Structure 1
């Protein structure tokens, strides 16, 4: 089912972009990632970065479709009452497909689905007497699904800026008995990009 959705999104994007004028671009910026859902009271946002490339294809004068390929640092920080601090470090390769509506000159709003592939997942921890790092990739699902909303501004020079919120819509847990324990990725990001 996930492969069907993935290839359907790719096919629809290819169909739309084949009849449009397309421009390539690059983008990067900071992420403020968190994990929501069950038992997340002691979790805080994790600072990370993202970077990648996109192609923006104008379908109408004021509407475009923008598929992207993005490397994204996600996860969360935590502090426990016993003096145990740590970080969940998730690295994803994300494929958002955004619909962008230009509402005034270069100002645009955007929304669209996202599929993410988990590249790595680690937990770093530290206390007064113990520190280390565990690989927890087997406990996190390889595929993540989310949705994005955002806004930004496209300058005539090619430079663009934007802000986007990604909210997870799929449970990322893959450990035993995880069916009753649901968590999702949530990411707020700022972007600076250039469209060629």
Structure 2
């Protein structure tokens, strides 16, 4: 628990330091939206293309202009990821139905290059530093209860280095909409080709 709190404090300190150093010309904002996540890679055994988990992301961001059409955008987000456990798994690996989720949640810290193609429309890409803060199997994802914490017995790493790419449109009033793809470059499990794969759709507001 202390480790997880430390992750959040470091991430918030990173964004706060950015704010102090760039307060004269940076914009700050909030954002949130939906995740469609799964695991991918040749190291997934017992499943064929696991179904996507529908989760969410929520957090803070800053946009720091460096040129007329170029900015750096650091963010700190809570991102609910994982995948749906399905009942047609090979060899009936978990003996469960399709209303069960394998949940792996992260504090993600993407640092993105942002290039405006035309007024309001930009492309974004860059690295993401992701810290696992929760891992459980949820047998009742739409209700309270049903959660089984598996973080103490899991082989999923606590840190992931990933990449982010996407599009955003920002309106003149500060509201924006965006779509992204997030991919984990590092193996989730040591020596196994298993990676996070997450599509995101979100909205936000720049102050």
Match of 1:33 among 30, 37, 53: 37
Q: 2:196 is matched with which residue: 185, 189, 193?
A: 185
State the secondary structure of the residue aligned to 2:67.
coil
Indicate the residue corresponding to 2:180 in structure 1: 164
Matches of 1:62 and 1:56, distance apart in 2:
12
Partner of 1:129: none
Shift of 1:80: 3.0
Note the C-alpha offset of 1:21. 1.9
Instruction: Figure out how many residues of one structure are paired with residues of the other and give that number.
Output: 176
User: What does residue 74 of structure 1 align with?
Assistant: 81
* Partner of residue 114, structure 1: 128
State how far apart, in whole Å, the 1-side matches of 2:124 and 2:24 are: 18
SS in structure 2 opposite 1:21? Answer: coil
**From 135, 159, 166, the counterpart of 2:149:** 135
**Structure 2 CA distance for aligned equivalents of residues 134 and 26 of structure 1:** 31
Q: RMSD across aligned C-alpha pairs, in angstroms?
A: 2.4
Q: Residue 50 of structure 2 corresponds to which residue in structure 1? A: 43
Question: TM-score under structure 1 normalisation?
Answer: 0.82
- Asked if 1:123 corresponds to 2:137, the answer is yes
Report Cα offsets for 1:100-128 as digits up to 9, x if no partner: 000101110010100111111012348xx
Q: CA deviation at 1:191?
A: 1.0
Distance in 1 (CA, whole Å) between partners of 2:161 and 2:49 is 24
Deviations 1:132-170 (A, max 9, x none): 643221322111111000001011100000000001101
Structure 1, gaps ≥5 residues long: 1-5, 127-131
| Structure with the larger strand share | 1
| Cα distance between partner residues in 1 of 2:58 and 2:23 | 27
Which residue of 2 is the match for residue 22 of structure 1? 26
**Aligned-partner Cα distance in 1 for 2:137–2:79:** 17
Structure 2 alignment gaps of length 5 or more: 1-9, 141-145
Deviation string 1:47-95 (CA, Å, 9 cap, x unpaired) is: 0011000010000010000000000100000213346233111111000
In structure 2, C-alpha distance between the alignment counterparts of 1:57 and 1:170, rounded to whole Å: 28
Shift of 1:20: 7.4
Q: 1:59 aligns with which of 58, 66, 87?
A: 66
